[in-house]
Structure 1
Amino acid sequence: MAERKQKRLASLLNQSNAANLSGEDQIELQSLIEEYFIEDPAKDESDSDEETDCNAGDFDTESEKESDAEDDAAPLIHEEVVTVTGEAHSSCEEFHNLAGNFAFPTVEAVEQFACKCKQIKVAAECDVCPEERRGCIAQFTHQEVVDFQLNLYDEVDMIVMGVFSANMAQGPYTESSKKGAQKKEREKTRVTYTILNRLVCKTTFMFLTGVGDKRLRNLMAHFKEQGGPCPRQSKRGGRKNNTKSLTHDDTNRVFRFIQNYAEDHAVSLPGRVPGFNRDDILLLPSSTTKGRVHELFQAACQEQGHRSVCVSTFRKLWAALLPFVVVSKPMTDLCFVCQKNNYRIFRAANITDEEKQELLRTQMEHLEKVDEERLLYRRQTAVSKEVVAEQRVTSLGPNQPCSRDITMHYSFDFAQQVHIPHSPYQPGPIYFMTPRKVGIFGVNCEGLPQQINYLIDEGASTTKGSNAVISYLHHFFGNYGLGESHADLHCDNCAGQNKNKFVLWYFAWRVMTGQHQTVTINFMPPGHTKFSPDWCFGLLKKCFRKSEVHCLDDLCDAVRRSTSVKKVNVPQLVTTENGQIHVTSYNWQAFLSPFFRPLPGMKKVGHFRFSSEVPGSVFFRESLGDDETEFRMLTDVRAVRTLRDALPPVIPPPGLSRERKLYLFQNIRAFVTPDKQDVLCPHPDV
């Protein structure tokens, strides 16, 4: 397309050049062309001046002056496209260079063309080439042929039919030149062909117009059918000739129907809807399907006698015209408050406007509170990243407690357990069996970022209670902590794992024993708990699904490969398959219970703070906008020395029962690679 435009532009410049403009007009045309095509004339002039000054002393000859004069008259457009000079073409060689750049016949083609016409024998001397030629083509100069071709452009059909209209004999009888001859009925149509008001034969006419014999016959048939010149329309392809294509009314009918349906059944919820990037979403109930809406549209069209569309076109128009009208997706782990408020808003069709405003206000207040909690999390993670950059920390510990006077942020959570052996090509029978279970507990340091994933074998599991959570956190701070003096933590609101009296007592114990100066623990609102551990768990599970895992070592490799470049995920075995302990579990419940008392109503509280300045106390507030309240959890101050010098009793791994070992040996062992069978599924008596 670009080449065609360049050729067209070049032809127009040549036409203006061949028009023999006056000197002033030619100069004005040259200046306009230079202003349009030359991007930076000053730069080009400065470059040429530098070259001239550099070589003037040695090569200032007459030949150089002549070449400089030729350069001044150089083409303004690239020489491959067109040659434009200040004068008209004056030789066959220049015309040959010009004609060779266009789609119309070259000089050689014009010179070699011979129509062998017997009716017209004209001996003409070309004003460009002094040679005699015979035939109809001899009536035209080379320049006239070029100009005629340029003027045709895309209107060849209409020009040819114009010749038919002017020169076609269409009467019912033929006309004879002989006097007294009888009139005969016309059998064939007779056309007198002319080019530039000059009589030519059919062969020359087709050569100059570029029309073949078949196209000429089709144009003549179309001319007769229409009774005069009329543009032809393609009988195949194209939207205009497609009787099945949608009209504007058809498209508008689909748009109006979906819009009206959304007004009756959809709801606009305040805040951003999970799973959608837009905030102007209109949610249809999850039970609604686009196929069902299309059925209703078809029924309405049949009832009113309008044209309907197929379901695929209906879906495409829906996606293109109303992308903000969506069907809500079934979801899990949602905020109960949001669900309750949204359900009431869904059912708010028959209530008063005041009640609707009250529902929306309640939901907006809840979302504002959630946004404040999320902002706190983002602010604390941003501070930890700045600290890591200043301290030039590249990896996790071990470090001595309070060895750095910094604040660091950590978050922790459990992931859904996995089963081994695992293969991306899962055999059918194992789907109905229970392979060996492995739990995952992650502690994430957002400042780096890096996450330690504790892989908990089924034989080492002491449930997901507070003893397990505190033991893994204690191991993390002792082996992977950055030695911070102030720790900020985030976790979810699970009461059995995190939000319980034993976890609070543990952090009070850490501050009392000098392992931290201050600790703040923030519980994220239920249903709004997506944070960094979930990101790392997602990467881990994605790699796990594609990996062959037949033992715990294979699982560790999958954890490392899940973030092989950044090394975000780090595996940490709790025990091996044979019971070798890597992370010790302690009975923190029995150890802390004699010295602390529970905080009343702690399930409603979202933020806790412990300080070494007030050992044994906790400062709490329900939300960020509330004032802190102090509560004394330590029952006896004299117990501080005892707590500082002692550790809880160790909980040994329970191991697998004989029945479980026998099940793995008889049912799961066959799905494990031979070199790992004795590791994962040994004989129960070994």
Structure 2
Amino acid sequence: MNHKQNDIRKEDQKEAEIISNFTRETCQCSVFYGSKPCSTIVGVDNLLENRTQCQELSSREKELVVKSQLCTQRKNSTFTSENKKSKKLRTRPSQKYFFHGQQICKKTFCFAFAISQSTLKRMSKSYDMYGLSVNEHGNCKTTPAHALSFDDTTRIKKFIEEYANKNALPLPGRLPNCPKQTVLLLPCDKNVTDIYDLYMKSAKEANYRVVSLKTFRNKWNSLCPHIAVATPATDLCVKCQKFMGKLKTNAHLSDEERHNVLSDYTCHVQKANRQRQLFKDQVLCSKAVCSTTDVTEGLEK
């Protein structure tokens, strides 16, 4: 039971508490319908359905929805328009809130559209200043101060390419994301993290800007997709890659030529298996000799 509770996100727990509190306590207003709160008049189920739909919208879409609701019952004229009183200069806008044709309080309106009262105040002010257009953030369409410069990106790309030129082997064939480039396959003795450590060491020595492993990996995938690290225990020798390349890319081969390629490839694999088996036998023999030597030395002592 405790394990299931730990799997629930904090956001979901907070949302469940908000819904539970509002369903139990309601809005507790008595302005419009006497002793009945307005949330019970419009129905809690309708409010929950509208709240769920608003939470599925983006922030820009939700702001447009809320502003469209505000503009129908918002009074922002120069003078007030009371019938029984003389007109006066309006000091602040007058706002009424409706839901499914029923007038509701501000608390119920905020619950129905999944916003806080401070967010509602900000949207109302934005509507008075800019209308229905969404107010963009001040940093929108500007480059963040922590973004990598062109020189930093060029250094990362140059380091990866120089490392590949020294250590990688060209792979016959191609990768799906880089069909027009020669694939360079790095040996599997070092992974991306090890290569990142080498970059960090050289960057610190040259007093260049350091980057995180995630940024280094993302730049590698975007700038050098043709350079890949061989997967351990699955990297093939050059001959195997040539045979596989012939079988995959040369679809115009005749049946006889394809049979010859398959025959040569089978002989190559069998030879490699014999060499591998010989190596395994030598390892077992060495282990047996070592164990016998240890036993003999133990008896002599």
User: Which structure dedicates a bigger proportion of its chain to helix?
Assistant: 2
Q: Which structure carries more relative contact order (alpha carbon 8 Å, separation 6+)?
A: 2
User: Which structure dedicates a bigger proportion of its chain to strand?
Assistant: 1
The structure having more radius of gyration, on CA atoms, is 1
